[in-house]
Amino acid sequence: MSNPRRLAILGSTGSIGVSTLDVVARHPDRFQIVALSAHRQVDALVRQCAAFKPRYAVIGSAADAKILAAKVNQAGLAVEVLHGEQALETIASLPEVDTVMAAIVGIAGLRASYAAVSAGKRVLLANKEALVTAGPVFMAAVQANGATLLPIDSEHNAVFQALPRSFAGDLTASGVRKIVLTASGGPFRDLPLDRLHNVTPDQACAHPNWVMGRKISVDSATMMNKGLEVIEASWLFNAEESRIKVVIHPESVIHSLVEYVDGSLLAQLGNPDMRTPIAYALGFPDRIEAGVESLDLAALSRLNFSEPDVARFPCLELARVALRQGASAPTVLNAANEVAVAAFLASQLGFNKISELIEHALANVPLTPLNTIEDVFAADRAARECSQAFLARKPSTIASRPIQVSV
């Protein structure tokens, strides 16, 4: 390939970033790494710099930047070290970068993702919070600047693959009745409801199918992750909330489906490996080798599906409520969830109190229109203040001892 794609990877030491580099390494003629970033993992970033020779490396703090600079210099690497949020925006909008993998978790990745679409880049979006918190602002920037948005979440990538190649944002014109997102149900899908209050952070992070970071693993356990994906899907595919269905599919083999008006259901299947959607987006419109094992259909004894239990997964319904409310409601939802999950992981809040905190924020933070990126951050701050106030006065319900969880 004479003109390789030139990549910046935001969050290169996280699970998505590592998987992206694994795919890139299989195609040295197709991809060139221009910039990498990490929040705190200096040594991992040094190793990536040694392997992929980027021009820029970004780390979170000035102190870590000094350490990183010393290590890359010692290794004889011609890498310019930058730090901080502004540096992330800089590498996301570099003239020499044409493709940005946006893989920073949470609203922390919003400004850099927004900078990338504002610069008209081809953006591989793994940071679902960009659309959840800033949907109208983000999509307006995509349209105004001619950016290309390719979904990396396995579910949205599956929908993207199952939609007609000619799809241009009108589901009805494409003959689509519904989008069907699948969910594993996480580690607690069969746990008796009266035992949820006792689960520990480590148990919540023990996902039965996927290897993920701790925050997204907790979101999977509460199914807030799926709720956020409903909101993301509404923006990616211009779909009303009523046209997005969620089903529990424990095997995580079918990653999502598109239902057409003629009764057809088109599904994308594969082993639960994020390199598949990453490779599809990296190579699009071509398909490229991802290093993923073929799915052995003969070895599958059965595939199971069920409706989500609202009593078990109240966060999913809260996300739907926020989507229907519109304005800043999804921003409030996301901020409250980030606060609640952080408190749970720090053993300051019980698992089944996560949804209670989120519901409190949605009920008490005034909703505002989102016209600019600063409107988004103002709504986010208001929701975090409300959530922290809730934590300050609410007695925590913390697991006193580990329990046995069957998955």
- Is pLDDT at 403 greater than 70 in this prediction? no
Q: 285 preceded by cis ω (within 30°)?
A: yes
Task: Write the DSSP assignment of 151-184 as a string of letters.
Answer: E-SHHHHHHHHHS-TT--S-TTTTTEEEEEEEE-
Model pLDDT, residue 211: 64
Distance CA 155, CA 233 (A): 9
Q: Which of 1-5, 68-72, 350-354, 376-380 has the lowest mean pLDDT?
A: 1-5
Nearest to 354 by CA among 317, 397, 311, 325: 397
Fill in the amino acid letter for 79.
V
**Winning range, highest mean pLDDT, from 86-100, 197-211, 386-400:** 86-100
> What's at 168, amino acid-wise?
A
Contact 184, 208 (CB under 8 A): yes
Of 115, 63, 67, 66, the C-alpha closest to 87 is 115
Mean of pLDDT values over 28-54:
97
- Residue-wise pLDDT tens digits, 56-69: 999 999 999 999 99
| pLDDT per position as a tens digit, 307-341 | 999 999 999 999 999 999 999 999 999 999 999 99
Residues of each domain in the chain carrying CATH 3.40.50.720 = 5-152
Q: What is the mean pLDDT of the chain?
A: 93
Query: Between helices 110-118 and 85-92, what is the axis angle to 10°?
Result: 30
DSSP strand pairing (265-269 vs 148-151): unpaired
CATH 3.30.70.270 for domain 5-152 = no
Which own/partner contact pairs does 268-272 have at CB distance under 8 Å and 24+ positions apart? 268/157, 268/158, 268/159, 268/161, 268/162, 269/295, 270/295, 271/295, 272/154, 272/209, 272/210
Long-range contacts of 283-290 (CB under 8 A, 24+ apart): 283/27, 283/30, 284/150, 285/165, 288/23, 288/26, 288/27, 288/30, 289/26, 289/27, 290/23, 290/26
Structure tokens at 246: 């969620």
Mean pLDDT in residue range 253-278: 96
pLDDT of 406 strictly over 60: no
Give residue 186's pLDDT band: very low, low, confident or very high (50, 70, 90). Answer: confident
pLDDT at 116 (0 to 100): 98
Among 79-83, 165-169, 204-208, 214-218, the range with the most confident prediction by mean pLDDT is 79-83
**Which residues of the chain are in CATH 1.10.1740.10 domains?**
160-393
| Non-local CB neighbours of 360 within 8 Å, separated by 6+ positions | 336, 386, 387, 390
Whether 198 has a pLDDT exceeding 90, the answer reads no
Round the CA-based radius of gyration of the chain to a whole number and report it. 21
Residue 398, pLDDT > 50, answer: no
| CATH 1.10.1740.10 assigned to 160-393 | yes
Task: Classify the phi-psi angles of 163: left when phi > 0, otherwise alpha if psi is within -120 to 50, otherwise beta.
Answer: beta
Q: Show the tokens assigned to 119.
A: 């610069």
pLDDT band at 305; cut points 50, 70, 90? very high
The helix (H) or strand (E) run that includes residue 389 is: helix 373-393
Rounded distance between C-alpha atoms, residue 235 and residue 323, angstroms? 10
